[in-house]
Amino acid sequence: MPTTLRHHGIVLTDHFFPVPLDHARPDGEQIEVFAREVVAAEREGEQLPWLLFLQGGPGNGSPRPVGPDGWLRVALRHHRVLLLDQRGTGRSTPANRQSLAARGTPAQQADHLAHFRADSIVRDAELIRERLLGEGTRWSTLGQSFGGFCTLTYLSLAPEGIQEAFVTGGLPGLRTSAEDVYRASYPRVAAKNAAHYARYPQDVETVRRIAAHLTEHEVRLPDGSPLTVERFQYLGLLLGQGSGSHTLHHLLESAWISGAAGLELSDTFLEGVRAQVSLAASPLFAALHEPIFAQRSVSTEGTRWAAQRVREEFPQFDAERALAAGEPVLLTGEMIYPWMFDLDPALVPLREAAQLLAERSDWPDLYDTERLAGNEVPVYAAVYDDDMYVDRDHSLQTARAVPRVRTWLTGEWEHDGLRVSDGKVLEHLFSMARGER
């Protein structure tokens, strides 16, 4: 029986759904997918349309609301919301170093993880829709970031299940390879570095000094794992968020402390770095970040650590070169590198499986371009002009290729606009759907 809680103006009902691990084998192994139903307390008994929330990631669980705040407040005015923990995340059957250890060899682990991309997530959603709403029904979807990627997969596989779709920062390139994604990404990350250093010019020397220290000393984070220069550079992930530049600056301010042997990196700084660079809470993000771009009709070579390979085309991200030339050390962005599986304790046990995923070349297509060319489902998409994580031009190209996609191109918000705008981003999309914009 579902568990229901009444909490600060909302009613939360927990659901667990058995789904096939492999949807091509519906009678095979089953896993569980968790979803939390949310409705405004005053509308609990009403027959409201459903809105499925598809979280960003991959590999992140859905939000855990404590009240009708932010975008959820806007959504609950019109809908009963389902917060889906995509397979492998949150309270769904886990997929991490602990659970995967029971799967056997690295090859068996990789085969298991291959079932955790958008196509499987969409097929889970369809089973859940039929069980909750009944056959022949439709619901609306809200896809944030990777959730928008899932939306385009949904429109490719089962558009009959969607009434209308809302996307925030997540229109993917339909025919872009992982290499295409990163060739477009590195220049945007470099621009974000330049903007940060213009805002906080003192951070140029601070970052250079930390990078130089890391090249000369062995430094470990509080969890015992090494902090290398490249791992330190991964802090650039923050620069794609609305307040990320400020968060980075405040972290850098705490970098140094005077110890027995002179200046050293402070525990406060090292713990702050650990919180940002550890992927213990979202190992699927690391294992599947490049495979979410893989489609055999686009490339038959596999992703092969595309971010690492393409990085060599952008020597400005070479910290040692920058230090020798007296230039600013650039931080990186939303890229996953093979060395992460050597350094992060949560990822080390997955190293061989991740390598097999990187070499895999037979990934099924995620987007049916012919079916999308005949799309009849209304889609309302926020495209952020300065999005560091999802390329604006790739998004707009997709919007032109898929009928009934309306875009709102805005420079007011960064990639996390849905979360930080206090509902303004979602309200704008809803007003587009109502014909008010």
Model pLDDT, residue 2 = 80
Mean pLDDT for the stretch of residues 388-409: 98
Mean pLDDT for the stretch of residues 366-387: 98
Name the helix (H) or strand (E) containing 409: strand 405-410
| pLDDT for 1 beyond 80 | no
pLDDT class of 261 with cuts at 50, 70, 90: confident
Phi, psi angle pair for 308, to nearest 5°: -70, -45
Name the helix (H) or strand (E) containing 348: none
| Half-sphere CA count of 103, side-chain side, radius 13 A | 20
Helix axis angle for 267-277 and 244-253, nearest 10°, is 150
**Rounded Cα distance, 354 and 369, in Å:** 29
pLDDT class of 255 with cuts at 50, 70, 90: very high
Strands 3-7, 10-20: pairing kind? antiparallel
If you classify domain 3-174+367-433 with CATH, what class do you get? alpha beta
**Rounded Cα distance, 153 and 293, in Å:** 12
Instruction: Assign 84 to helix, strand or coil.
Output: strand
**Rounded Cα distance, 135 and 127, in Å:** 10
Are the CB atoms for 245 and 195 separated by under 8 Å? yes
Distances from the Cα of 306 to the Cαs of 23, 289, 316, 393, in angstroms? 28, 11, 17, 20
Are the CB atoms for 334 and 240 separated by under 8 Å? yes
| Half-sphere CA count of 202, side-chain side, radius 13 A | 7
- Token pair, residue 130, equals 């039929």
- Token pair, residue 95, equals 């997929």
In tens, the pLDDT along 149-200 reads 999 999 999 999 999 999 999 999 999 999 999 999 999 999 999 999 999 9
In tens, the pLDDT along 296-306 reads 999 999 999 99
Model pLDDT, residue 8 = 87
In tens, the pLDDT along 329-343 reads 999 999 999 999 999
Q: What is the mean pLDDT of the chain?
A: 97
Model pLDDT, residue 437 = 86
**Rounded Cα distance, 196 and 238, in Å:** 11
Looking at the chain, the whole-number percentage of residues with pLDDT higher than 90 is 97
Looking at the chain, the whole-number percentage of residues with pLDDT higher than 70 is 100
Model pLDDT, residue 7 = 85
| pLDDT for 377 beyond 80 | yes
Catalytic residues: 145, 362, 415
Domain boundaries of the chain, sorted by first residue = 3-174+367-433, 178-359
Model pLDDT, residue 30 = 98
Task: Read off the pTM.
Answer: 0.97
| pLDDT for 350 beyond 90 | yes
C-alpha closest to that of 308 among 146, 172, 178, 191: 178
pLDDT class of 280 with cuts at 50, 70, 90: very high
